[in-house]
Structure 1
């Protein structure tokens, strides 16, 4: 089996700290998106967008723009949908894991897609530039590639972290996946279809929803293990 029966056992100081930190990240992420969204609704101009746009224009030669164009595809709907189907199939038919794992992975991906689309329709922010080749159509805030990439690659980091792989390997894969997910988000600025604040909001929203999904999964797995222990104790008593 690739995955081990991890996760949180009885509450400890470390797990309590992680829980508190998780709630802070969730609340902070949604609050950040809401704060930016309020200004977007009022059609405010962000100094950060101008500063980042000017900076990118100075370090974005044709070869880098082309490279970012390839990277940005790793956050496209078709690509993440294909990968998600493969992951669900693996979790259901190969890994031997609890049904809750593929279920909450699906909740993670479908939920972030619905949230992103709903917020886009709510804020109706126009893009800095419409480029159909890079999925640069529709509304701009928050960045869908950013939310999707953070949710998907972040869940892959979680699956790696709870696997039987060696600690060094888990760290290496986790760092690579994290950097790649962030690169997908940043690529949206380089290809010119999103503002910096679109991407920042996308990263915040994707991270918050990812934590919600993983936390809900861990709670269900904890309850399942607890029931299994009670059943085992009853059988042996």
Structure 2
């Protein structure tokens, strides 16, 4: 190990990034498990208190008397009693914010801002690791975001949703995956950014945004949302969220280590994935509000076995894909 680090000093930086990322996720998970419920309760009570006091303000009373229809419409947007109220408002504002971040990132890349300098710096350092022994591990991780594996996961999820008689969940899954993939493809065609020079696994598509980073959020994020919705234990929900974030970060990091993408490509892909994941969750919650989806089902033993079989099948398929398709590209 010491000899490997001496040969590739960049491994120290990579190791520090991984350790800090995992430590930060563990700390956030620990704090959420310990204080999450109390924090959510405090936010809920504060929101109710604030709403009651705002509507009693003299200005608000005058506006309500003068513009009752407009005031009623705005009040409905912050109502917690239905999906088209506070939930939809928060999701819409989140989407607008994500689009603004994506637009700002695109502007920085087009104008060759400091982010481009950072991209080149990181790419040059990662190109040194192409002959190191960590490459196979990152090839396996990056294969989890490949098209064949994502298609397999979607197929297995469709079978599972059919088995538990919740087919409408697939609407959100398809919106998240197909929408994000289409958006990424059109963005690649629009910006036509070349990939790093020292690319390890030859790709024939453009660089920005990263399709692997996009699908990691859009697909695995939606699967995590499904698992959280089906679960009734808060601690388990927090752990599912933490593990999913770690997986998405590892897939994004694998694209940088293998020099398939620049850092800003990964950031752009994550933003696109979050955008479409939010849209998909909005649609799924709307279907839930209309009674099309029931998250409180009782899972049979065979259905639980089906979930674990699907996880094992995906891991085996990823290993086979990495060895039969990805590793030959190294030559």
Q: For this structure pair, what is the TM-score category when the shorter chain's length is used for normalisation?
A: 0.7 to 0.9
CA RMSD for the aligned pairs?
Answer: 2.9
* 1:29 matched to 2:29: no
Query: 2:50 is matched with which residue?
Result: none
Which protein shows a greater Rg? 2
After superposition, the C-alpha distances for 1:104-152 in whole angstroms (9 at most, x for unaligned) are 2112111111111111111100000375x74633100000000011101
Q: Which runs of 5+ in 2 are unaligned?
A: 1-78, 293-331
Q: Distance in 1 between matches of 2:88 and 2:128?
A: 42
Equivalent in 150, 165, 170 of residue 217 of structure 2:
150
Query: 2:206 is matched with which residue?
Result: 139
Query: 2:181 is matched with which residue?
Result: 113
Query: 2:17 is matched with which residue?
Result: none
* 1:170 matched to 2:237: yes
Deviation at 1:79, TM superposition (A): 0.8
Query: 2:165 is matched with which residue?
Result: 96
Q: Is the 8 A contact 1:69 1:134 kept in 2?
A: no
Deviation at 1:195, TM superposition (A): 0.4
Q: Distance in 2 between matches of 1:127 and 1:209?
A: 24
Query: 2:38 is matched with which residue?
Result: none
Q: Distance in 1 between matches of 2:80 and 2:88?
A: 10
Question: Alpha carbons of 1:66 and 1:17: their partners in 2 closer, same or farther (altered >3 Å)?
Answer: farther
Query: 1:7 is matched with which residue?
Result: none
Q: Is the 8 A contact 1:29 1:204 kept in 2?
A: yes
Q: What secondary structure sits across from 1:63 in the alignment?
A: coil
TM-score by length of 2: 0.57
Q: Distance in 2 between matches of 1:56 and 1:111?
A: 31
Deviation at 1:22, TM superposition (A): 3.0
Equivalent in 104, 120, 126 of residue 194 of structure 2:
126
Q: Distance in 2 between matches of 1:202 and 1:129?
A: 20
* 1:65 matched to 2:132: no
